[in-house]
Amino acid sequence: MSEKSDEERAWESTPDLVVLAVDAQARRLYGDERLDRARELYEKLVRMRPKGSQYWAMLGVIHRRQGRLVRALKALEKAVDIEPMNRNALVNLGEALVLAGRPEEGAEVLRAVFDMGYDADRPVEDHDVITKRAGAQLAILHKIAQGVLSGKITRQELEKG
């Protein structure tokens, strides 16, 4: 394992109060759809707190929304490596895998997220938003697969979008 550079140590020594302020600003910018500026701040946040799974996840979400799937996958995988039970990172990773043309892997991740949160004894409306989102994505993938298998949807139609 290589030793950290002076620059890396300087970024990581940023006081928590500053990190919290940058995080709040990044969230505001994301909420205002100012994705380029929000991405810049999340890039700084991952330098300040490289083990901050939530920062890697948000960076991945922004990359995905901006159509940079390779970068999105790398950031989301990093978020999951840091915190394997980060359901937000996992559901976004599953969706990004599907968009990147890896639907089987994406479905596996989405199924795992769904299984983590689903309780058969509770009504659907009582489940958390991440469980519902994973379930909805799985249902869409199932319908697409059924359409392909039944011949109602062709592979060419899928590839055209």
Q: What would the pLDDT profile of 40-49 be if each residue is shown by its tens digit?
A: 999 999 999 9
Residue 1 pLDDT: 59
Residue 3 pLDDT: 86
Q: May I ask the CATH architecture of the domain 51-160? A: Alpha Horseshoe (1.25)
Q: What whole-number distance in Å separates Cα of residue 62 and Cα of residue 3? A: 30
R_g (Cα) of the chain, nearest Å: 18
Tally the C-alpha atoms within 13 A of residue 99's C-alpha that lie toward its C-beta. Answer: 19
What is the number of residues in the chain? 161
Mean pLDDT of the chain: 91
Does residue 157 surpass a pLDDT of 90? no
Residue 149 pLDDT: 61
Min mean pLDDT across 14-23, 48-57, 97-106 is at: 97-106
Q: What whole-number distance in Å separates Cα of residue 128 and Cα of residue 55? A: 21
Task: Identify which of 27-36, 120-129, 131-140 has the greatest average pLDDT.
Answer: 27-36
The residue assigned the tokens 């697409």 is: 144
> DSSP letter string over 50-89?
TT-HHHHHHHHHHHHHTT-HHHHHHHHHHHHHH-TT-HHH
Instruction: Determine the average pLDDT of the residues in 73-94.
Output: 97
The residue assigned the tokens 């890396």 is: 8
User: Domain spans of the chain?
Assistant: 51-160
Is there a contact between 99 and 74 (Cβ–Cβ < 8 Å)? no
CA angle 138, 134, 46 (to 5 degrees): 130
Q: What whole-number distance in Å separates Cα of residue 47 and Cα of residue 12? A: 7
Q: pTM for the complete prediction? A: 0.84
